[in-house]
Structure 1
Amino acid sequence: MNVAVIGGGGREYALAKKLAQSTRSDIVYAIPGNDGMKEFAVTVPELSETDCRGIGDFCLDNDIQWVVIGPEASLEAGLADHLEELGVDVFGPKKHEAKIECSKAFAKDIMKRYGIPTASHRMFTDQDSARDYINETGAPVVLKKDGLAAGKGVIVAMDMAEALAGIEILKPEQDAPVVIEEFLEGEEFSLMVLVNGPYTHSFEIMAQDHKRAYDGDTGPNTGGMGVYAPVHHIDESLRQEAVDKIVEPMAQAMVDEGLDYFGVLYLGAIVTRDGVKVIEFNARFGDPEAQVLLDLMEDDFIDVLEKVKAKEPFSLNFRDGYKAGVMLASGGYPAAYEKGCEVDFSTVRADCAVSGLKQSGDAWRTDGGRVLLVTGEGRTIEEAVDAAYSNVAQITFTEGDLFYRQDIGGRALKG
């Protein structure tokens, strides 16, 4: 069968590669895709990821049977709604269901009403009220832009100066609310959940992302600077607690709210002294988690999609050992950065997931903020991290053009 992946980043690179490995796929289209995907997919750069009508026509013209939506912008644009109307099987929630990610206030409201453990919060639509609230409650505190912000609309303010500055940056307004949350302290993990109405299948392994830009979890939030899986220093009982007290109740809550969610639900969770709580929900695979988890997964991904569609029970199988990924990002990211800087990763090409690079002849040049996830694998987390950084060392670029964290996997290494 012909299948398509919507999007052009590292997550979509991983999805397209996984679908191309399926014994059931004939042609994999990546819309718009990126140059790194051309090795295993047909890219369609003339279509944007939010062009619902254009994508729908393309799917019908090319006999595409399954579409997997990668980015949140496509979900918010209503692409799943449009494709479903055309009779195309689509893995990704419809526009209203995607509000679980696209609106922090929407998600918080459901969690509060159904008793799903998360940080206490208030929503603000003007700067004065938000400022007064922070002056009253103090810091640390977390500020979140209500809409989509590519993982960068979150400010973790550890003191009053940062918190008040965050109000000036996020600028709460009537049509652009800001959610201010209680700061939760503890160990974080990511859990991917396949959802079809009340049916859920949580991944059997956890991953751990590194959101902050710089070593030691400092600097601004990003889309993700590195990842590893599985996470074994967080006990399996805590993953199961997340399933029992968060995942399954949330799926049922959405059904009770009249929502018909079909797709992956990303749970960003934190282990606190009061148990596991929700940091955030996303309506799509995590990036860079997808690049590691999908590679470790041994199952045929089309088979998995069809089992979720049919609400069949099954188990996912993952390779033994560990996989770690280090993100190379453009200098200046997540703020302003230059494009067009040359990168040579030819010696470790097989261990890289391309997200923001463009091919120019034989050369590769930067074309985004996060440009390349460099991975390594091993029997232990130490071996996997060492392999990833060994591969990073083989990549050549001009100093200052790119940067990366040097402490990926640090929490696991400490045990």
Structure 2
Amino acid sequence: MKKEQLKNTAEIKRNFLIISRWGETLDIAVAILNEGHAVKMYIEDKPSREIGYGFVQKAKDWKTHVDWADVLIFDYTGYGKICSELRAQGKLVVGGTEYSDLLELDRNFGQDELKKHGIKILPSKEFFNFQDAIDYVKSHPNAYVIKPSGETQEYKQLLFVGSDDEGLDVIRVLKAYEKSWGNDFGNFQLQRKVKGVEVSVSAYFNGKEFIYPINVTFEHKKLFPKELGVSTGEMGSSMFWTKDSPIFDATLKKFEKSLAKGGLVGQLDINCIVNGNGIYPLEFTSRFGYPQIFIQRAGIMEPMGNMFYKLASGENFKINVRKGFQVGAYMVVPPFPFDDKKSFELFSKDSVIVFKKEQKEGIHPMHLKKINEEWLITGNTGIALMVTGTGLTMKDAQRMMKNRISNIIINNVYYRTDIGDRWSDDFDRLWSWGLL
């Protein structure tokens, strides 16, 4: 495509309909809106539906706006069948397929597909009750990770990474889960634990092939600095973009033909543990990662609306990205990461976000509404903002992020202060293993 044609493509204003599970993509909706496009946003989860009021036009029933939309964006797994049906009707859709949904939601299926594609995986076993799992650990003593499957995996604090080589800590936690959850826990996996660097690689897919460059992300999942406290899903990430990655070539690249069969459009991420012995994939994320997408946005130089349109159109293009690094930290309030409606209403609901200086670059609205131009916390999770920074070095990116955080006042706020600190150690190890 010629430069003039590309320019004209970018200048065309389109209608974007965002179908969101929990309102996670407000920041993306606002970005596309600010680029001059029309945006409507639907949120499926009822307690989250106030998110976005004042920022973007809300839709009560997304299905009544399908004809209006030029591009539909589904922001979570579980919509794969609907996405495929809409594509069959000729609609441009950013979203998954039934196949990509299963890669994330069914851990056993994901692991089987890795094996089928010739990728080495860690030993794991699925269980449907706690006693069987306890008996298994007793007869196969080792260090394990407890990984909930299905819908229970949304409770990130239930994931437990054992450290005892005999599995005694895992047995204690399984007994505690049995008392507190009983039969409501659902199925879960025990996966063998290995030591190394935890890193994820991701790329965007245009329905036929992966689009470059590749994104390499280092997640910070625990609530407190130095990886202390409960697992939250994520408190922030550091990342960079690269034209090639040995980890990507050994994992996601092998799925290109399988993904093309269903016509996936969007992002696919695989989280891995890597060490001197190899690359061990842990799990897929077959959608935007949160907060990964917001930190990526800090590094993407082209308009997001235009990028999603090109993806959904099946265009082969290179994403224009910044050199260097991007970092981002969530700013959260009680009861995060726990589900406690009373605490949220007591400490956090309708809390105002105050900016010392009126500078909002690198500030990504999360679970917020806007009233009289003031940003107020809403929803029910306590995720207020994602704050990002960029730089040619990791320290430059961290400095920018911390300066932006220092400009914000939120009552009862907490956040990680060490996002990106692991990079020097991780870099040394990855470089020595030939994985950069």
Q: Give TM class, smaller chain.
A: 0.7 to 0.9
- Contact kept in structure 2, 1:127 and 1:173, CA below 8 Å: no
- Contact kept in structure 2, 1:121 and 1:179, CA below 8 Å: yes
> Which range moves more in the overlay, 179-188 or 353-362?
353-362
What is aligned with 2:177?
169
AA paired with 1:355? Answer: M
Q: Classify the secondary structure of the residue corresponding to 2:407.
A: coil
AA paired with 1:58? Answer: H
CA distance in 1: counterparts of 2:105 and 2:21, whole angstroms: 19
- 1:75 equivalent to 2:79? Answer yes
Shift of 1:169: 2.8
Q: Classify the secondary structure of the residue corresponding to 1:409.
A: coil
After the TM superposition, which residues 341-380 of structure 1 pair with which residues of structure 2 at under 5 Å, given as runs? 341=348, 342-347=351-356, 348-359=359-370, 362=374, 364-367=376-379, 368-380=381-393
- Contact kept in structure 2, 1:228 and 1:409, CA below 8 Å: yes
What is aligned with 2:329?
326
Shift of 1:278: 1.3
- 1:412 equivalent to 2:423? Answer yes
Shift of 1:133: 1.5
Residue number among 161, 177, 181 corresponding to 1:156 in the alignment = 161
What is aligned with 2:246?
241
AA paired with 2:73? Answer: V
- 1:229 equivalent to 2:229? Answer no
* Deviation string, structure 1 residues 202-260 (Cα, Å, up to 9, x no partner): 533422221111211122222210122227xxxx69x62222221121233456xx654
Q: Classify the secondary structure of the residue corresponding to 1:389.
A: helix
AA paired with 2:420? Answer: G
CA RMSD of aligned residues (A): 3.1
- Contact kept in structure 1, 2:298 and 2:390, CA below 8 Å: no
Shift of 1:360: 5.2
What is aligned with 1:51?
none
Residue number among 332, 335, 338 corresponding to 2:338 in the alignment = 335
After the TM superposition, which residues 128-277 of structure 1 pair with which residues of structure 2 at under 5 Å, given as runs? 128-148=131-151, 149-150=153-154, 152=156, 154-159=159-164, 160-167=167-174, 168-169=176-177, 176-196=186-206, 199-230=209-240, 240-253=245-258, 259-277=262-280
> Which range moves more in the overlay, 208-217 or 301-310?
301-310
CA distance in 2: counterparts of 1:296 and 1:151, whole angstroms: 29
Shift of 1:312: 4.4
What is aligned with 1:387?
400
AA paired with 1:185? Answer: K
What is aligned with 2:116?
113
Q: Classify the secondary structure of the residue corresponding to 2:322.
A: coil
- Contact kept in structure 1, 2:198 and 2:272, CA below 8 Å: yes
AA paired with 2:323? Answer: D
TM-score by length of 2: 0.79
Q: Classify the secondary structure of the residue corresponding to 2:344.
A: coil
Q: 1:354 to 1:305 in 2, by over 3 A?
A: closer
AA paired with 2:161? Answer: V
- Contact kept in structure 1, 2:213 and 2:319, CA below 8 Å: yes
Residue number among 31, 42, 64 corresponding to 2:69 in the alignment = 64
AA paired with 2:58? Answer: T
Q: Classify the secondary structure of the residue corresponding to 1:16.
A: helix
CA distance in 2: counterparts of 1:58 and 1:307, whole angstroms: 21
Shift of 1:172: 8.9
* Deviation string, structure 1 residues 303-350 (Cα, Å, up to 9, x no partner): 444544455442222123433211112234222442242242334533
Q: Classify the secondary structure of the residue corresponding to 1:406.
A: coil
AA paired with 1:345? Answer: V
Gaps of 5+ in 2: 1-13, 44-48, 428-436
AA paired with 2:65? Answer: F
Percent identity of the aligned residues? 20
AA paired with 1:43? Answer: K
CA distance in 1: counterparts of 2:21 and 2:215, whole angstroms: 26
CA distance in 1: counterparts of 2:371 and 2:318, whole angstroms: 42
CA distance in 1: counterparts of 2:30 and 2:201, whole angstroms: 21
CA distance in 1: counterparts of 2:22 and 2:237, whole angstroms: 16
AA paired with 1:189? Answer: V
AA paired with 2:63? Answer: G
- Contact kept in structure 2, 1:267 and 1:278, CA below 8 Å: yes
CA distance in 1: counterparts of 2:387 and 2:352, whole angstroms: 13
- 1:125 equivalent to 2:92? Answer no
Shift of 1:38: 4.4
AA paired with 1:156? Answer: V
CA distance in 1: counterparts of 2:283 and 2:186, whole angstroms: 18
After the TM superposition, which residues 38-57 of structure 1 pair with which residues of structure 2 at under 5 Å, given as runs? 38-39=54-55, 41-44=56-59, 47=60, 54-57=61-64
CA distance in 2: counterparts of 1:251 and 1:405, whole angstroms: 36
TM-score by length of 1: 0.82
- Contact kept in structure 1, 2:355 and 2:409, CA below 8 Å: no
CA distance in 2: counterparts of 1:240 and 1:142, whole angstroms: 27
- Contact kept in structure 1, 2:203 and 2:214, CA below 8 Å: no
CA distance in 2: counterparts of 1:372 and 1:165, whole angstroms: 36
AA paired with 1:377? Answer: T
Shift of 1:142: 1.1
- Contact kept in structure 2, 1:56 and 1:83, CA below 8 Å: no
Q: Classify the secondary structure of the residue corresponding to 2:65.
A: helix
CA distance in 2: counterparts of 1:211 and 1:4, whole angstroms: 31
- 1:403 equivalent to 2:408? Answer no
CA distance in 1: counterparts of 2:402 and 2:197, whole angstroms: 23
Residue number among 2, 17, 21 corresponding to 1:4 in the alignment = 17
What is aligned with 1:103?
106
Q: 1:336 to 1:151 in 2, by over 3 A?
A: closer
CA distance in 2: counterparts of 1:175 and 1:304, whole angstroms: 40
Gaps of 5+ in 1: 48-53
